[in-house]
Amino acid sequence: MANALITGVTGQDGAYLAKLLLEKGYGVYGLIARRGTDTLWRLRELGIEQQVELINGDLTDLSSLIRAMEKSQASEVYNLGAQSFVATSWEQPLLTAQVTGISVTNMLEAVRIVNPKARFYQASTSEMFGLIQAEKQDETTPFYPRSPYGVAKLYGHWMTINYRESFNIHGSSGILFNHESPLRGIEFVTRKVTDAAARIKQGKQQELRLGNIDSKRDWGFAGDYVEAMWLMLQQDQPDDYVIATGRTTTVRDMCKIAFSHLGLNYEDHLAIDPKFFRPAEVEVLLGNPAKAKAKLGWEASTSLETLITMMVDADMRRVEHE
Ligand code: NDP
Ligand code: GDR
């Protein structure tokens, strides 16, 4: 059976994708960057910590990526590693450019040098659309990123297309809209809300402080979205696909879903804090996943209500056991 290399294996998507590929019988290798803290909790929660072969390396270090390609003998490479938090990208724009942008070229070069026949997946994002508000954003919608993160991702997106056209690399780019899960980082708004709801319910927190609650996002479940990544690399021809649910909801209404699941009224606990407003905002994201449905046979199968209540329930258990 084939081997796969996942960068960002310790992140939300990396963990779900590793599980999916292990279930399909792949040998799964994951690039792991040296950190002072434990980053394996997600692999542990999914019960796959021992099954993923971890390779030390960093996306900014080409030589380590070449060694990871050699060691893994991967025929499929999923480039999920990034500085992925939009708010941080204004505080660390150059690091974001290096890790989220330039490093895509590092990974593409490692593929080109070690195994140009390997199939490559690039984790692109709806943040590339930014200011462009089409009725629904699809593969033909122009890009206008609104953050250093979005700009860095756009570079990676175009480099993937360029390596496809220049060197015949089987590189596909998934333009994924927001996707969440109980394994979502606590800094992102859904998890911040579900964690706060659980803490408030258990008397361990008094209030929830948020920024712009009028922005709208097309939120899906990460477990569904990693299947789309895999499907892209099973196609004869590499291509770009929008992966979304086709429904958009305000942050405010998402809060309502989370709090009401616990019998709480979010308005009793919410405070608006200017600290969480961004220098430039993406007001509305709403994707059209028709191409993914037609060509990959993929569609989102988890509603926002199911997703948010699943996250609240997981956070209730976590907070209880703290
Ligand atoms: P996470 O933030 O959860 O995970 C990011 C991963 O990248 C972590 O494993 C992190 O490692 C790793 N990483 C960061 N810097 C480096 C580095 N210098 N070298 C090697 N690895 C590094 O992101 P998600 O799982 O949510 O997202 C996966 C990818 O998809 C990202 O590229 C993200 O930008 C993109 N994306 C995500 C969407 C979403 O809604 N989740 C939507 C669209 C795109 P560590 O744990 O050690 O920090
Ligand atoms: P986003 O996700 O920026 O869309 O990027 P995030 O959950 O951080 O923000 C979503 C929206 O909520 C608003 N918001 C807040 N956000 C956070 N994090 N914290 C708050 O307190 C808060 N209050 C309001 C934000 O302003 C924004 O409008 C995610 C990441 O996973 C990216 O890597 C990915 O590319 C995109 O999704 C698609």
Residue-wise pLDDT for 183-236, tens only, equals 999 999 999 999 999 999 999 999 999 999 999 999 999 999 999 999 999 999
Tell me, what's the pLDDT at 8?
A: 98
pLDDT in tens, 121-146: 999 999 999 998 778 999 999 999 99
Residue tagged active-site, from 10, 78, 127, 245 = 127
Residues 258 and 195: their CA atoms lie apart, in Å, by 9
Q: Is the CB of 249 under 6 A from ligand 2?
A: no
Averaged pLDDT of the chain: 97
Predicted pLDDT at 134: 78
Structural tokens at position 104? 């895509």
State if residue 179 touches ligand 1 by the CB under 6 angstroms criterion.
yes
**Nearest alpha carbon, ligand 2 atom 2:** 188
Mean pLDDT within 8-33: 98
**Ligand 2 contact via 155 beta carbon (within 6 Å):** no
- Residue 249 CA, distance from chain mean position: 18
Per-residue CA distances from 189 to 4, 81, 219 (Å)? 31, 20, 11
Tell me which residue has its CA closest to atom 2 in ligand 1: 84
Token pair, residue 77, equals 């490479």
pLDDT at position 258:
98
Q: Has 245 been annotated as catalytic?
A: no
- Residue 132: its pLDDT value, please? 84
What is the Cα 232 distance to its own chain's centre? 16
How do 249-250 and 216-217 pair as beta strands?
Answer: antiparallel
Q: Where are the domains of the chain?
A: 3-179+221-243, 185-217+247-286+302-321
Helix (H, G, I), strand (E, B) or coil at 318: helix
What was the pLDDT predicted at 224? Answer: 98
DSSP 8-state secondary structure symbol assigned to residue 246? S
Distance between CA 309 and CA 205 in Å, rounded? Answer: 19
| Closest residue CA from atom 20 of ligand 2 | 210
In the β-sheet with 27-32, what is the strand arrangement from edge to edge? 53-56, 27-32, 3-7, 76-79, 119-125, 170-176, 240-243
What is the C-alpha to C-alpha distance for residues 142 and 128, in angstroms, rounded to an integer? 9
Ligand 2 atom nearest 282 alpha carbon: 28
Residue 61 pLDDT class (50, 70, 90 cuts): very high
d(CA 54, CA 135): 43
At 151-174, the pLDDT tens digits run 999 999 999 999 999 999 999 999
Which of 10, 96, 125, 302 is the catalytic position?
125
> Which pLDDT belongs to residue 133?
78
pLDDT at 43: 98
Q: Which two tokens stand for residue 177?
A: 């809209």
The interface predicted TM-score of the complex, written ipTM, equals: 0.99
**Would residue 49 show up in a list of annotated catalytic residues for this protein?**
no
The residue contributing the CA closest to ligand 2 atom 12 is 189
Please report, as a single letter, which amino acid is at residue 178.
N
Q: Residue 81: what pLDDT?
A: 98
Q: Which residues make beta-bridge pairs with 49?
A: none
Nearest to 171 by CA among 253, 110, 239: 239
Strands (E), the chain: 3-7, 27-32, 53-56, 76-79, 119-125, 170-176, 179-180, 208-210, 216-217, 220-221, 240-243, 249-250, 270-272
What is 3-179+221-243's CATH number, 3.40.50.720, 1.10.357.140, 2.40.10.340, 3.50.50.60? 3.40.50.720
For the domain 185-217+247-286+302-321, what is the CATH superfamily, name and number? Answer: UDP-galactose 4-epimerase, domain 1 (3.90.25.10)
pLDDT tens readout for residues 72-86: 999 999 999 999 999
For 220-284, strand residue ranges (E) read: 220-221, 240-243, 249-250, 270-272
With 90 as the cut, is the pLDDT of residue 283 above it? yes
**Chain segment 175-198, per-residue pLDDT in tens:** 999 999 999 999 999 999 999 999
1 pLDDT band, cuts 50/70/90, is confident
> How far apart (Å, rounded) are the C-alpha atoms in residues 55 and 31?
5
Average pLDDT of span 244-250: 98
